[in-house]
Chains A and B, each alone.
Chain A
């Protein structure tokens, strides 16, 4: 089973309000990723957990937070949503960095 689940599938948020997205996987993968995907663009890596170690991309370092309370779950937290955060957010997991990643169905975030 290569299932990655994401909740919610759709999220409507107000400008300035916080947003929390959830991801889970049952494959016992040690690495979990969060991407931002906008139309006609490549997925943009925001951050990833390698086991318990959080790695955040330099250009999104202050905009996104994450937690991984156990191997199966990972969250993405936006402290204050802006209009530019409207996008699809994709969670993925892999059996190790560099190997194939398995993606969830995504959460479509709309910020108004």
Chain B
């Protein structure tokens, strides 16, 4: 069975600082990996996805993530955060084998607060 762990429930950074949000996964095969963001009172928005290839993937709004097979991780990074990045960030995984039983497994989320 697959699982996702986001060890930091809350992260606070100053505007302009760099950011890393951690995500660890457990899977018997290399999964598909995703980061989603939920702004207040909104649905989830896809930030970026990893299926295969280059372990560093670029997403929207300057976000990137790096896949590490050896560490079973998919950490999210941003070089310089803005106050508007304050939101809840979810890491998710799925199996690459598809089929009617395949689905996204979400972590519990990390609340990012950006101080002005």
Interface residues of A (CB under 8 A from B): 4, 6, 33, 40-43, 45, 48, 50, 53, 55, 90, 92, 96-106, 108
B63 proximal to A (CB < 8 A): no
C-alpha gap A42/B108 in the complex (Å): 5
- Shortest CB–CB separation between residue A4 and chain B, in angstroms? 8
Which of B49, B98, B109 contacts A96, CB < 8 Å?
Answer: B98
Known A42-B109, A43-B44, A90-B43; judge A101-B100 contact (CB<8 A): no
With A45-B104, A97-B101 already in contact, 10 other A-B pairs whose C-beta atoms are closer than 8 Å:
A41-B109, A55-B101, A90-B43, A90-B44, A97-B98, A98-B97, A98-B103, A99-B32, A100-B34, A103-B43
A-B contact count (CB 8 A): 62
Interface residues of B (CB under 8 A from A): 32, 34, 36, 41-46, 49, 90, 94-104, 106-109
Task: Tell me if B's interface is mostly helix, strand, loop or mixed.
Answer: loop
C-alpha gap A80/B5 in the complex (Å): 34
Contacts of A92 in B (CB 8 A): 44
C-alpha gap A31/B37 in the complex (Å): 21
Contacts of B98 in A (CB 8 A): 96-98
Contacts of B42 in A (CB 8 A): 105-106
Contacts of B108 in A (CB 8 A): 40-42
C-alpha gap A3/B99 in the complex (Å): 24
- Shortest CB–CB separation between residue B2 and chain A, in angstroms? 11
Are B46 and A50 in contact, with the CB atoms below 8 A?
no
Are A101 and B46 in contact, with the CB atoms below 8 A?
yes
C-alpha gap A41/B106 in the complex (Å): 10
- Shortest CB–CB separation between residue B45 and chain A, in angstroms? 7
